[in-house]
Structure 1
Amino acid sequence: MFRFKCKSRKGCVLVLLTLIFVFIINRFVRNISRTDIMNHGIMSDSNSAYSKTLTGCWSSSRACVRLFDTSKDYSNASQINVCVYQIVPTIKKAIICIYDPKTDIYISKSILNNGNWEGALIGEVLNLLRTDQHMEFLDLGCNIGVYTISVATLGRRVTALDANRKNLEMLLTSLQIGNLTRNVTMLWNALSDKSEVVNLKEDAGNVGGMAIVSGQELAPDFENSTIAVTLDDLEVMFRKKKLLIKMDIERYEMKALLGAKRFFEYVNIRYLIMEWMHHAETDTGLEIIQFLSARGFVPYAPNDRTRPLQQETRNKWPNDILWKQTDSGIDK
C-alpha cells in the first residue's frame, strides 16, 4: 500500500490535490485517445490476436480491422487494364478502372461494352439515398467499386469493404482520378461470423469476385489470404447512423449476418440490398429470411417497393433483393 507523511495539514492537502489532478489528466488523455480511435471506426488493444505491425491494421481483442491507406498511388498496378467512364443515369460520368475483360467477363466486360454494370440497381440505390440526406452507404464486397464510385459521385459518404486487395487498389485509383477519396473510407477485410484468417479462391472469369475459404493457417498478408472480421466489430463506426447496405460477398451472407447481432441492434439500417440467386433454394436462404424478418425487415424487388415478396415463393424471387426496415416482419 502506498503511504506518505505530511509535515502539515496544508502539505497533505496539496499532495492530495496533486494526486487527484494527475489522475484526472491521465483519464482525460486516455479518453481522448479512445475517442479518436472510435471516430475513425477502429478499436485498438495491445492484447490483440493480431499484431499492429500488419499493413494498415489497428486491432482489438476481437478483430483486426484494416483501414486501407488512400494516400498511396496504385495507378501503375499490373491488374489495371484501362480506366474508362462509368455511365449511370442521373449522375455525372465517373472514371472507373477495370480488369482485362478476358479475365473478368462480367463486371469489367459489361462496363467496357455497355458503360456500366447493374446500372438499374445502382439507380435504385441512388434514389433511396436521395430520400434522406443523412443516410450513408456501406458497400460490403465492393469489388472494383461500381456502387461506391456512383454514390461518392452523388456526394454521399461511403464505406467500402473488400477482401481482395487488388480490387481496393483499383478502386482507390478510380477515386483519386475522380477526386472522390474524401467521400470514401476503405476497409481491407473479409466478413465472417468470427475473426479469423481466410483464404481467397479465385473464380475463373470473375477475377474480382474471390470466394472466401474459412479455417486457414496462412499468414494474413499472403497474396491470397486476408483477415475476416464481423459486422459487430464494425458497429462502433456506424452506431446510431442511418445506413443503406449493399451486401455481395460470394455466398457468405449468412455467416456475415451471424456476426452482426449487435450491429443490427445499434445501427439504424434502413435498407439492405443482397444477392439472392445463390440462396433461392437453399436452407441458408431460409435462415437469412428468418434472421432479417425477426429484426423487422421485409423483402421487395428493388424496382417494386409496393408489394412485399412472399416466403413461399422465395425460389422465384429476383436475383437481387431489397430488404426494407419496417415495424413488422415478412408476410407468411
Structure 2
Amino acid sequence: MTTKHSLVILKYLFLIGILLSTIYLFRTDLFPFVLNHSKQISTTNTQNCIDLSVITNDSFQCVKTKLLLNKYRTTVCVHDAKKDTDVSGLIINHGIWEENLVTRIVRIFSTYRQLAFIDIGANIGIYTMYAASLGCPHVFAIECFRPNIERIRRAIQLEKVQKQVLLVPRALYNKSNVYLSLRTNIANNIGSQRLNVEVSKNEDDSLVVQTIRFDDLLPFINERNIQEAIIKIDIETSEHYLCVTGEKIFNQINIPFVIMEWANIKEIPEKANLIQEFFTIRSYIPFNSEICQPETEKDYRRWQNQDIFWIKKNYTYLCELS
C-alpha cells in the first residue's frame, strides 16, 4: 500500500470518527436544545408537572405588562400578535388583557398574601404571572396547550418564581389520564381551544392533551399545607368539570372567590344548572364581574357579562378592596 493510499484511508477514518462522535453527542444531554417541541414540553418531574428548569428552545417575544395599582407588573411571553390578536395582541399593545379581572385578582392577593391561586385554563399565563410576581406563595397553573405551556415556563424563569408555581400540563375533565383532541375555538385566540373527543395517546401532536380531575390536585394541596385558595377558570364550556370532579377539594379547603367564564356555558343548561346548584348549596353568591355587585336577575341566562364571580356569602367584602 502506498503512502498516498494510507493517507486517504486515514482521512476517511478520521471523518467517520467525527461523524460518530457528533451522532453520540446529539443523542445525549450535551445538546438539549435539539429536542423537538413535543419532547421538550413532556419533560416533567416525577409528579407529572412541568420541569421549570428546562430551557425552552423556541423563540418568542416576552413583554413587561402594565403596572397595576401603581405597584405590580410582571412578564408574559406572547404569541405572534397577527395570529393571536385577542390575547397576545392586546398584551403587546396595551400591556394587559382582561384588565378588570386581573386587577381584581391583584387587589385580593396584595391584601391577603396567604391565599393560594389556582388558574385553570391559564392560556399564556397573565393571571398566573401577576399572582406569582406579587408574592402569592402557591400558584397552580393548569394549562394543556403546549405552545402556551412553553410561554408560561419562560415567563416563570424570567421572573424567577419557579419555587412558587406548579405548572400542570393537563386539561380538566371528568376522567384522569385519558387523551383528548382539541379543536380551534376562536380564530383570533391561539390559546383558546375546546376539548373535542377522546383519542389514542399521541405525544407528537400539540392538539392531543392528557386529562386531570380537579381532585387530582389534592396531593399537591396537602403537600403544601394549603388552607385557602381562590380560583380563576376559563376553559371554553368545560367549566362544569370543576364542580363534577372537585368536591373533595371544595370540602377540604376554603375557596372564598371563584372567577368563571360564563357567557358561553350559560347557553348549555345541563352544564350551567349543575354549576349553579354546586355553588348555591355551598353558600356562594353570583356577582356581576364588572361592578362586583350581586346579580339581581334570577335567570342566569340574563347575566350579561362575559364572566361571573362566585363569592362565599361571608367574603363579599373582597369586592370592596381598593
TM-score by length of 2: 0.76
- The 3 A distance-change label for structure 1 pair 57 and 222 is farther
Q: Secondary structure at the match of 1:245?
A: strand
Per-residue deviation, 1:302: 2.9
Alignment of 1:109-258 (within 5 A): 109-157=89-137, 158-195=139-176, 196-203=178-185, 204-219=187-202, 222-239=205-222, 241-258=227-244
Q: How many Å separate the matches in 2 of 1:221 and 1:315?
A: 42
Q: Trace 1:290-329 onto structure 2 (pairs within 5 A).
A: 290-326=277-313
Letter of the 1:206 partner, please give it: N
Shift in CA distance, 287/309, structure 1 to aligned 2, threshold 3 Å: farther
Which amino acid in 2 is paired with 1:98?
V
**Of residues 47, 59, 65 in structure 2, which corresponds to 1:86?**
65
**Cα distance change, pair 261–220 in 1 and its aligned pair in 2 (3 A):** farther
Deviation, structure 1 residue 220: 5.1
1:73 aligns with one of 38, 46, 55? 55
In the TM superposition, what is the alpha-carbon distance from 1:211 to its structure 2 partner? 1.4
- CA distance in 2 between counterparts of 1:162 and 1:226 reads 10
One-letter amino acid matched to 1:254: H
Aligned to 1:19: none
Q: Within the alignment, does 1:104 sit opposite 2:84 as a pair?
A: yes
Q: How many residues were matched structurally?
A: 266
Would the aligned equivalents of 2:184 and 2:194 in 1 still touch at CA under 8 Å?
yes
Residues in 2 aligned to 1:161 and 1:250: alpha-carbon distance in whole angstroms: 14
How far residue 306 of structure 1 moved from its aligned partner, in angstroms, is: 4.3
Q: Distance in 2 between matches of 1:149 and 1:209?
A: 18
The code of the aligned residue for 2:156 comes to L
Matched, 1:269 2:255: yes
Deviation for aligned residue 1:241 = 1.7
Structure 2 residue aligned with 1:11: none
The reply on whether 1:281 has 2:298 as its aligned counterpart is no
Gaps of 5+ in 2: 1-41, 316-322
| CA–CA distance in structure 1, aligned partners of residues 197 and 252 of structure 2 | 27
Alpha carbons 2:109, 2:134 under 8 Å: kept = no
1:211 maps to a residue whose letter is: R
8 Å CA contact retained: 2:232, 2:260: yes
Match of 1:20 in 2: none
1:160-213: CA deviation from partner (whole Å, max 9, x where unpaired): 110112111111111212222222111111101111211122333211122112
The residue matched to 1:167 in structure 2 has which SS? helix
> 1:271·1:325 contact (CA, 8 Å) conserved in 2?
yes
CA–CA separation in structure 2 for the residues paired with 1:193 and 1:160: 18
Instruction: Give the conservation status (yes or no) of the 8 Å contact 1:66–1:189.
Output: no
Among 41, 56, 76, which residue is 2:44 paired with?
56
Q: Which AA in structure 2 matches 1:67?
A: C
> Is the Cα contact below 8 Å between 2:285 and 2:294 reproduced in 1?
no
User: Which amino acid in 1 is paired with 2:197?
Assistant: S
Alignment of 1:33-44 (within 5 A): none
**Structure 1 residue 109, shift from structure 2 partner:** 0.6
CA contact (8 A) 1:105 1:206 kept: yes
SS at structure 1 position matched to 2:299: helix
Q: Flag the 1:100–1:302 CA change in 2: closer, same or farther, 3 A.
A: same
Q: For each residue in 1:47-101, what CA deviation from the matched residue of structure 2 results, as whole angstroms up to 9, or x when unmatched? A: xxxxxxx74265xxxxxx6210000111x315x2x22111141233322211001
1:172 and 1:220 map into 2 onto residues whose CA distance is 19
Structure whose residues are more often helix by fraction: 2
Inter-partner Cα distance in structure 2 for 1:109 and 1:87: 14
Write the distance in 2 (CA, Å) between the matches of 1:255 and 1:213. Answer: 14
- Counterpart amino acid of 1:171? I
SS at match of 1:269: coil
CA contact (8 A) 1:298 1:324 kept: yes
- Give the C-alpha shift of residue 279 in structure 1: 2.1
Deviation by residue 1:99-152 (Cα, 9 ceiling, x = unmatched): 001111200011112111011211111112234231111111111111111111
8 Å contact kept, 2:45–2:51: no
Q: Check the 8 A contact 2:121/2:143 in 1, yes or no.
A: yes
Q: Deviation per CA, 1:239-270: give whole Å up to 9, x if none.
A: 55201100011111113321112121112111
2:319 aligns with none
TM-score by length of 1: 0.74
